[in-house]
């Protein structure tokens, strides 16, 4: 139906695209460490050395772990395997709450203790009206 | 093949279409706005700020869709050696760029009250910014290169490089840890958005798609008239 040249150009494009995809895949693979926005507590536990660089740690705020005092907030970030204690002084975003996602930026003191200088709330992909939420909880 | 794409023939259709598309757009957009701003419920967690989603998500979808279409058309133009495709691709680009910028700006406005930051260099947001740069490159290339053969080659190359970024944008939230939440709507599984919020989202998407179509038709008609004035019957 199509001429030889049309077919040739089609396969040439396919070849170019596959080479490009492969290249980009390899580049992204090798840069993975830098592309991730935050580390999970489990990844932090595996760190061989704790340097003084600023890092981000993300996970869930453990239920019943938030302690607020006059100018400091302490809570625990968990990925349900490992936990890290976080201390922070400052304003937390509206969506920050227990059992919800959080990303903190700051400095590791040791493998269990993190001093945050910034807190971001990470929300999940679920959207629903309040009535539906309470109906779900009552179930 | 593709006789319908010849400027004289297609202009008969595209010159009449805008007013109908405009009427349809105003209709769908009004329904969408009422649904999104008044009728739809607030979110249990974010309350009213969830309404930004009804602009943010459709805008992002449209900008991804248009870039994919531009690439597809450019590749068809190259494979079939048919220049009519490039004219359609060129006319699609402006509304794609606009919606890309809308997605970035509304995302930033949404990010401040929910995440607590205007901007984060996470994979989703950065790859979306890269898409905007590709749109810009594409449009600039059409402006600065005079020679038609040359401009076709260069813009096709730009789309080939840019299209690699599109699946990266889509899957960035699954492949890497990002601040951006994962997709709520999945063809294969149940949507994570309650149906009362899904409805305005889909209506707004339809409205934005109609708006893109309208801008495309206006731009395309201008291009066709330009060709006619030059006395050419193709690009």
Which residues lie closer than 8 Å to B180 by C-beta, 6 or more apart?
B120, B122, B123, B124, B125, B172, B173
Identify the pLDDT of residue A71. Answer: 84
Check whether A13 has a pLDDT greater than 90. yes
pLDDT reading at B64 higher than 90: yes
Give the percent of chain A with pLDDT over 90.
Answer: 45
Mutate which: A19, A125, A134, A135, vs B, most B CBs within 10 A: A125
Please tell me which of the candidates A20, A122, A132 has its beta carbon nearest to residue B179. Answer: A122
CATH code (residue A83): 2.40.50.140
Interface of B with A (CB under 8 A): 41-46, 50, 53, 75, 78-81, 113-117, 120-123, 160-161, 163-164, 168, 176-179, 181-184, 192-194, 196-197
In chain B, what are the domain boundaries?
Answer: 82-180+205-235
In this model, does residue A9 exceed pLDDT 80? yes
Q: Which of A102, A121, A100 is nearest to A40 (CA)?
A: A102
Write out chain B residues lying below 8 Å of A5, CB-based: 81
- pLDDT, residue A1, reads 64
Q: How confident is the model at residue B30 (pLDDT cuts 50, 70, 90)?
A: very high
My answer on whether A53 and A90 are in the same domain is yes
Are residue A61 and residue A83 in the same domain, yes or no? yes
pLDDT given at position B47: 84
Residues A85 and A23 both lie in one domain: no
pLDDT in tens, B13-29: 999 999 999 999 999 99
Reported as a pLDDT band with limits 50, 70 and 90, residue A135 is confident
CA distance A20 to A26: 10
Going by pLDDT thresholds of 50, 70 and 90, the confidence category of residue A95 is confident
**pLDDT bracket for residue B1 (50, 70, 90):** low
Query: Would residue A28 count as lying in a domain?
Result: yes
Per CB-CB distance under 8 Å, the chain B contacts of A128 are: 43-44, 193-194, 197
Cα-only R_g, chain B: 19
Residue B103, Cβ neighbours under 10 Å: how many? 24
Check whether residue A29 and residue A48 sit in a common domain: no
Which of A6, A37, A93 lies nearest to residue B122, judging by beta carbons? A37
Nearest CA in chain B to A35: B123
Please check the confidence at residue A139 and state whether its pLDDT lies above 90: no
Same domain, A105 and A49: yes
Q: Does A49 share its domain with A23?
A: no
Among chain A residues, the shortest Cα distance to B120 is held by A37
Residue A128 included in any domain: no
Residue B156 in tokens: 């096709």
SS3 A116: strand
Nearest-CA residue of chain B relative to A16? B160
DSSP B183: P
Residue B171: what pLDDT? 93
- CB within 8 Å: A127 and B181: no
> Are A12 and A49 in the same domain?
no
- DSSP string for residues in A84-114: EEEEE-SPPPTT--TTSEEEEEEEEEETTEE
How many CB atoms are located within 10 Å of the residue A59 CB?
27
What are the structure tokens assigned to B180, written together? 């951006």
Residue numbers of the domain that contains A46: 40-122
Q: Quote the radius of gyration of chain A (alpha carbons, Å).
A: 23
Q: What is the ipTM of this complex?
A: 0.86
Q: Which of A13-27, A75-89, B15-29, B173-187 has the lowest mean pLDDT?
A: B173-187
User: Is there a single domain that holds both residue A27 and residue A74?
Assistant: no
Report the DSSP pairing between strands A113-122 and A83-88: parallel
Distance separating alpha carbons of residues A54 and A34, to the nearest angstrom? 13
Sole residue written with tokens 């690699």? B164
| Structure tokens belonging to residue B61 | 């979808």
Distance from CA of A100 to the nearest CA of B (A): 10
**In whole angstroms, what is the distance from residue B67 CA to residue B52 CA?**
23
Q: What's the pLDDT score for residue B230?
A: 84
Highest mean pLDDT among A35-39, A69-73, B178-182, B203-207: B203-207
- pLDDT value of position A134: 84
Query: How many domains are there within chain A?
Result: 2
Together in a domain, A72 and A95: yes
Alpha helices in A31-139 (DSSP H): 32-35, 41-45, 130-138
Q: Are A27 and A44 within one domain?
A: no
Q: Do A9 and B79 touch (CB under 8 A)?
A: yes
Separation between Cα atoms, residue B125 and residue B56, nearest integer Å: 12
Kindly list the residues from chain A whose CB atom is less than 8 angstroms away from the CB atom of residue B42: 129-130
In this structure, are A29 and A45 located in the same domain?
no
Give chain B's end-to-end CA distance (angstroms, integer): 17
DSSP β-bridge partners for residue A122: A101
A120/B116 touch (CB, cutoff 8 Å), yes or no: yes
In angstroms, the CA B211 to CA B58 distance is 12
Q: Name the residue in chain B with its Cα closest to that of A10.
A: B79
- On whether both A106 and A73 belong to a single domain, the answer is yes
- Domain contains A94: yes
* Averaged confidence pLDDT in chain B: 92
Q: Which of A106-120, B113-127, B175-189 has the lowest mean pLDDT?
A: B175-189
């Amino acid at each position: 139906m199509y001429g030889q040249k049309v077919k040739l150009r089609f396969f040439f494009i396919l070849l170019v695209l596959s080479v490009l995809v492969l290249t980009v895949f390899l580049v992204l693979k090798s840069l993975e460490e830098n592309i991730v926005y935050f580390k999970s507590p489990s990844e932090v536990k595996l760190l061989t050395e704790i340097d003084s660089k600023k890092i981000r740690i993300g996970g869930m705020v453990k239920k019943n772990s938030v302690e607020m005092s006059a100018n400091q907030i302490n809570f625990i970030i968990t990925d349900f395997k490992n936990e890290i204690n976080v201390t922070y002084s400052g304003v937390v975003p509206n969506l920050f709450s227990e059992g919800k996602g959080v990303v903190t930026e700051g400095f590791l003191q040791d493998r269990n203790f993190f001093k945050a200088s910034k807190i971001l709330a990470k929300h999940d992909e679920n959207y629903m009206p309040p009535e539906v939420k309470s109906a779900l909880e009552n179930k | 093949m593709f006789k319908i794409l010849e400027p004289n023939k297609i202009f008969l259709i595209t010159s009449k279409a805008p007013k109908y598309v405009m009427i349809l757009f105003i209709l769908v957009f009004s329904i969408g706005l009422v649904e999104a701003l008044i009728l739809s419920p607030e979110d249990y967690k974010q309350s009213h700020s969830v309404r930004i989603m009804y602009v943010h998500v459709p805008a992002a979808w449209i900008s991804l869709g248009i870039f994919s279409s531009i690439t597809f058309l450019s590749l068809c133009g190259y494979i079939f050696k048919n220049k009519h495709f490039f004219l359609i691709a060129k006319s699609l680009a402006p509304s794609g760029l606009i919606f890309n910028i809308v997605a970035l700006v509304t995302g930033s406005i949404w990010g401040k009250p929910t995440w607590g930051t205007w901007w984060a260099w996470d994979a989703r947001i950065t790859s979306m910014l890269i898409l905007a740069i590709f749109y810009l490159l594409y449009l600039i290339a059409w402006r600065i290169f005079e020679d038609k053969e040359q401009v076709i080659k260069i813009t096709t190359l730009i789309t080939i490089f840019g299209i690699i970024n599109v699946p990266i944008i889509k899957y960035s939230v699954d492949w890497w840890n990002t601040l951006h939440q994962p997709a709520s709507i999945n063809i294969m599984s149940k949507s994570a958005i309650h149906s009362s919020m899904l409805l305005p989202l889909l209506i707004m998407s339809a409205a934005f798609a109609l708006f893109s179509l309208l801008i495309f038709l206006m731009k395309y008609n201008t291009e066709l008239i330009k060709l006619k004035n030059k006395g050419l019957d193709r690009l």
